[in-house]
Homo-oligomer: A and B are copies of this chain.
Amino acid sequence: MKRKIDYSLYLCTDRGLMSTPTVEEAVEQAILGGCTLIQLREKDCSSRAFCETACSVKAVTDRYNTPLIINDRPDIALAVGADGVHVGQSDLPCKILRRILGEDKIIGVSASTLEEAVQAEKDGADYLGVGAMYATGTKTDAAIVSMDELLKIRRAVSLPIVVIGGINRETAPAFRNIGVDGLAVVSAIIARPDIRNAARELLEIFKGKSE
Which residues in A have some Cβ–Cβ distance to B below 8 Å? 46-49, 51, 72-76, 78-79, 87, 89-93, 96, 99-100
Contacts and interface: CB of A to CB of B under 8 A. Distances in A.
9 contacts: A47-B92, A48-B89, A49-B90, A51-B92, A73-B75, A74-B75, A75-B100, A76-B92, A79-B100
B92 A48 contact: yes
The DSSP consensus for interface residues of chain A is helix
A93 B89 CA distance: 28
Contacts of A76: 92
A87 B48 CA distance: 10
Nearest to A46: B90
A30 to B, nearest CB: 26
Contacts of A75: 73-75, 92, 100
Contacts of A100: 75, 78-79
